[in-house]
Structure formats: structure tokens, C-alpha cells
Amino acid sequence: MNQLKLKFIDEAESLLTSLDNVLIELEKTDDLQNINEAFRVMHTIKGASGMFGFDKIVEITHELESIYDLLRQKTLQLNPSIIDITFTAADHIRALLIDEAFSNENNIKRHKLLKESIDVVKGIKTPESKKTEPKTTSTPNEIKVSNKPTTGNIDKKATWNILFYPNEELIKRCVNMAYTFHDLFALGEYKISSKPFNNSEGEFWSIFLVTDQPFEEIENALMFVMDYCKISKVADFDIFNPTELEKRDEQLNNITQHIEAFDTTDMQNNAPNNANDSGKELIHLINKTNNQQPVQMTPKATTRINVEASKLDTLMYLVSELVTTKSELLIALKKHDEEKSIDAAEKIEKLSKLFSDNALSIRMVSLHEMLNKFKRLIRDLAKQLGKQIEFEIIGEDTELDKNIIDAIGEPIMHLIRNCIDHGIEIPEKRIAKGKPETGTIKFEAQKTGNYVYITISDDGNGINTEYVYNKAVDKGFIQPGTNLTEKEIMDLIFLPGFSTAESLSNVSGRGIGMDIVLKRIHDIRGEIIVSSTKNIGTAFTLKLQQTVSIISTLLVTSGKTTYAIPIEDIEACNIELDENTTNTQSKLIRYNNELLPFYILKGYTMHAEDSSCSQKLIIINKQSKRYAIIADTIIGEYQAVIKPLGKAFSEVKHLSGASLLGDGSIALLLDTDNVWFKTSNN
């Protein structure tokens, strides 16, 4: 059952992310469809959390649901404090998903405050009169949740009992637990056991449903899980305390009348404002609790991938092909049939290429999910800093290897933080500069060849090159009076320990700096290009490989050591090294009427250097740095599966990994960026 629960937590988290986005939309326009969507999310989370014993989440979602129900019925007007409360509640639910035992003090505090502020928003009562709050009766093992306000015709109601037996098979079928019962709960009122019961047939949940709908409707709602359910009619009436319901009905009516009364009386401006003010106070309180122990919002590495079914079909097809070919090979070998053996071996070679392509395509993930998390972050930061920001996204369907997506999340978040904190000006300044009040942060992703380019740009201040230059002089990074181009000055911000923020703000001047951003991107063999124009804006462009695990390399040897050089960095190779090309005095190498610095690959040799064989030149061109590598022999192209060398070799900067070769030996992968610093003229 633990697996089902993990699945629920996963689903709840993605539901909350979608809620964040709905709220961001709602903040812009009061749209009924979005209110319905928020209501639906609350409702879905409520139902499923009940099943897994998250009582506190049920409480909160239940309260929120009633707010959105009032909004739906237009008896309550949407206002910013409702959205703020919902945001806080979403974070609170996130915290509760981790803190299942409800033992964290901050969570307990936040829970109480949140409930109070929801009450204020509902306008039922002010916090002072909370003692009279009627408690919803709940027996220890059951939670009372009611869905729709009852609309007449109680006579026709019947009570049904549904026993739900989920099992391993259900998990395999990837049935979405949260949605499974959504349709069922929409039929009427329900009671659900908060913990699964146990009997000889395994674990099961018991659900009581009070509805005026016929049996067919229940059947339809449970269409996908019918096999796991036992349904029986309990009674022809509502067996659950109808007086309780009436009380609630009355309450709802009271609220409506209450609000209507405000609308019609002269106190119109007075009283609701009061309620609003105390609501705001409470939100401040909540924010305070939040600040003490903020709910974790760092983009977490996703552990599950959604895969297109067709890719899995291909995989299955490949597996069956492989199995057949393997038998072919075995039979051929037993018969000593050389021709057939070679045929089969060739087929296996082809298949393994298809396998690797297929595996890589399965690992490809779109940027969608990562971006959804950014939307919320930008909204929160903009609000905190008093800035107005529009987040524009282009190309969110672009796919990247999951490893890369996980690796770029934090650096990109940092770049966006920088844009909000240092780039975009506050509205007054923007107006003074003649720019639109709202700043724009643009996220653009596009695939070109084997690369994916991601550009994060803002229309803010731009980088103040003069300021950066002076700062670099102050910090001793450069000598005063050094001649640097605009681009070179901008690159200074990537130096370790360079932080241009005048005061450490708690937005971007904390934790990782631009040097870490650069390092993280380099780690996945990517590049960053920065461009900026004063008062127009700044743009950071990331050039990323679609996948990191397999790269095309050229294998070369030096002594007994085999090296792999990324093919994309090679301009030319297989040039003989002779007296004409070497220029011992200048320590440069002649290549096509040019002089280039060089690096001699170090080889491990058992015996003295064998200088008789002619050495080869490989010309490297990486990010407009050009140099030559001198090796003994060139073996050829190799599709290298890259493995890390580990922290034992962290000091060996000119190597970035290793790859296993067919014969079990190991090739060392050259880091073409860092070899540059080891060339003859450095």
C-alpha cells in the first residue's frame, strides 16, 4: 500500500503545481473557469488525502473548497487576500505531505493561522469569536466531508456502500488514484474511511455514498476500477444524521444573507473592510510563520518520467528482435556456421544502436514541468520586491535529456532571480525611463542540430559595465587600466567571488553565484553567452547538448594511454608532425600558415620514449580558442558512454570523464576547455 501512497503524494504535488498556475491566472483575471479549476483541484486532493489518512490536508482543502464554492456561486467576490491564502495553503499542503504525522511545530502553527484566515475570508466570523466555532463531528476513523450543498429532494436519496480493493495490478495499470473517485464524489455526499481496512482479501477502503443518482451513474463513475469494487445499496434514505446537514444548510444561508446584508446596508464600506483587514493581518502572520521555516520550493529532481506509449512499443519490438537474434547466433555458433554467426553478430550490432537511440528518446523530457515551477517562483519574487513582471515562454515543448533538465533547473532559477532582482526596475523607475510599467522576462528554448539553445532575457537595467569593471578592480581581479572589451567585462561576472549586488538581498545575493551557474552548465558540457545593453536589458543564452551520456569522440593514443576527444571540438586531424610544422623557439605549431599553441598528450609508457614513430596533430576549435594536440596514433571514431572519474580526480582538470572500450580497457575523455590552459603558451 506504501506504493499507492507514494503515487498519491506524487500526484498531489503535480496537482498543487497546476493550482499555482491557475492562481497566477486568477490573479490577472477573475475567470469562472479558473475558479472551477481551483475548486476541482481542492476537491481531488481532499478526496485522495482522506484515503491516505492525511486528515489535516482534508481539513484545509475542505475549508478552501467552501471558499471557492462561494466564489463559484458569486456570493463571494474574488480578492487578492483569497489568492494569497490559497497560495499559502498550497505550500502548507506541500509541507503536510512530508510531515504526515503533523509533528512539525511550524506546520501546526501555520495550520491554525490558515484556518482562522479562511474563516475571516468566508466572513462567517471574526477571529475573536472563534470559540463559538461549531466543530464538525468526526469519529476517529472517519472524516465527514460533504460535497455539494444539498439542493432539495432528500426523499429520493439512497445510501450506497462501495468497497474498494486496490492491488499491485492496479498500480501497474497506472490508474490515477486522485481522479478515480473524483467522478464518484461528484455524485453526492460521501464518507470514506481514512485508513484502509484489512480482511482475508487484502486491504480495502470503505466508501459510503449518499446520492439521488441511479446505480448506473455510480457504475459509470467507477468505470475504470469497477473490477476492484464491490457495491451494495445500504438504504433508501440518507443514513447520515440529516440534522447535521440541515445545520450546514442553515449556515450557508446565513453566510449568504450576511453578505447580502452588507451589500444593502449603509455599513457597506465599513464592515467588509474590517474583515478584510484582519484577514490581511492574519496573512502577515502566516507569512511570518512561512519565513521562519519556509516551505521548500527548490525544484526537485523528478524521479518519474512520462513516456509516450509508442516509444515503449519500439522497445518491446527491439527486445523480441534481440532475443530471436541471440538464438540465431547461438545455433550458428553450435553448428560452426561462420557466415550465419557473422550475420547474427551484425544484426546485434544494428539492434544495439537502435536500443541506445530508443533509450535516449525515452529519457527526453520537455521543459514544461520545470517551467511550471518557475511561474510560481517569479510571481512570489515579483510580489516580494514590489515589481510587476510578465513571464513569457516560447518553445516549452523542447525536449532535453532528463539528466540535463535536472541539472539546469537550479542555474536557470538563479538567472531568473538575477533578472528579477537586478534586471527589472521597480514600476516608478520604469515609467520614468519611458518603459511599460510591467517588465518582461522571456524564456526561449529552441533546438538547432544537436544543441538546444535556452535564452533567458529581461527588458530591465542591463549590466552596468562600468560598475562591473570598477568592482573587478576593487576586488583585485584585474589591474586598473586594463583594456577590456564590453564582452570581456561582462564575462567578469562569472568569476568566483564576484557579486555585484550592493547589499546581500535575500533574493539572489545568497548561496550560489554566477560562477556556480557557469560551473553547473560546464559540468553538462554546455556554454553560457551573456549579452546586455544598458537600459534595454540582459540576455543569457545557454547552449546545451540534448544528451550527456553518450558523445561522439575521436580515440587517439599516447604511449599506452588512450584518450577520447569530443568530435564536435575537432577542426582537423591526422596531420603529420614534422620539422616544417614545429617551431621550437616560439613554442608554437605551424598549421595552414597559422601559428597555434599546442599540448602534448601525456602517455604512460613502460619503456623509454619511442620517438621513431611519427606523431599526429589534432586541431581543436572550442569557443574560438584554437590549439593543437599532439598524439602518437589516431584510432578512429567512437561512440563513448561517459562515466565520471569521481572526486578523487577533481584536481585533474584536463580530463572530464572516462569511457569503457570494447576490450575492457578505459579511454580518458579530454576536457577541451581546460586543456587550453595547459598549452604551450599558457
Partner 1 sequence: MKANTYLTFKLGQELFAVNVDNVLEVLERQLITPVPDAPKNLLGIINFRGEILPVLNTHLKFNLTVEDNEELERLLIVFEIGQDENKYSVAATADAVKDVIEVANEQIKPVPENGISYDSKYLTGITNYNNQFVMLLNTIKAFSF
Contact residues toward partner 1 (CB under 8 A) are 560-561, 602-604, 643-652, 654-655, 658, 660, 664-666, 668
Q: Residue 269 Cβ, how far from partner 1 at the closest point, in Å?
A: 58
Q: Residue 607 Cβ, how far from partner 1 at the closest point, in Å?
A: 12
DSSP characters over 590-602: EETTEEE-EEEPP
Residue appearing with cell numbers 516549452: 396
Q: Residue 178 Cβ, how far from partner 1 at the closest point, in Å?
A: 30
Query: Cα dist. 499→88, 115, 472, 510 in Å?
Result: 32, 42, 10, 10
555 φψ region: left (φ > 0), alpha (ψ -120 to 50), beta (else): beta
Q: Which of 614, 610, 580 is nearest to 595 (CA)?
A: 580
- Asked whether 292 and 106 are in contact (CB, 8 A), the reply is yes
C-alpha 104/C-alpha 95 separation (Å) is 9
Assigned C-alpha cell, 449 = 542540430
Angle between helices 402-418 and 368-385 (to 10 degrees): 20
Q: Which of 379, 354, 11 is nearest to 175 (CA)?
A: 11
Q: Residue 172 Cβ, how far from partner 1 at the closest point, in Å?
A: 28
Q: Residue 606 Cβ, how far from partner 1 at the closest point, in Å?
A: 9
Is the Cβ of residue 172 or residue 647 nearer to partner 1 in the bound state? 647
Is the Cβ of residue 145 or residue 565 nearer to partner 1 in the bound state? 565
Q: Which of 417, 341, 412 is nearest to 371 (CA)?
A: 412
Count of alpha carbons within 13 angstroms of residue 480, beta-carbon side: 2
Q: Residue 643 Cβ, how far from partner 1 at the closest point, in Å?
A: 5
Is the Cβ of residue 368 or residue 560 nearer to partner 1 in the bound state? 560
Is the Cβ of residue 263 or residue 651 nearer to partner 1 in the bound state? 651
Q: Residue 653 Cβ, how far from partner 1 at the closest point, in Å?
A: 9
Is the Cβ of residue 141 or residue 605 nearer to partner 1 in the bound state? 605
Query: Cα dist. 674→111, 477, 521, 599, 653 in Å?
Result: 52, 20, 15, 11, 6
**550-558 and 364-366 beta bridge pairing:** unpaired
Q: Which amino acid is at 2?
A: N
Q: Residue 245 Cβ, how far from partner 1 at the closest point, in Å?
A: 51
Is the Cβ of residue 497 or residue 662 nearer to partner 1 in the bound state? 662
Q: Which amino acid is at 457?
A: S
Is the Cβ of residue 26 or residue 642 nearer to partner 1 in the bound state? 642
Is the Cβ of residue 393 or residue 600 nearer to partner 1 in the bound state? 600
Q: Residue 301 Cβ, how far from partner 1 at the closest point, in Å?
A: 12
Residue appearing with cell numbers 510591467: 438
Q: Residue 304 Cβ, how far from partner 1 at the closest point, in Å?
A: 19
Phi, psi for residue 530 in degrees, rounded to 5: -115, 140
C-alpha 65/C-alpha 38 separation (Å) is 8
Q: Residue 365 Cβ, how far from partner 1 at the closest point, in Å?
A: 22
Helices (H) and strands (E) in the chain, counts: 20, 25
Is the Cβ of residue 353 or residue 560 nearer to partner 1 in the bound state? 560
C-alpha 340/C-alpha 352 separation (Å) is 18
Is the Cβ of residue 495 or residue 655 nearer to partner 1 in the bound state? 655
Is the Cβ of residue 427 or residue 559 nearer to partner 1 in the bound state? 559
- Three-state SS sequence of 44-72: HHHHHHHHCCCHHHHHHHHHHHHHHHHHH
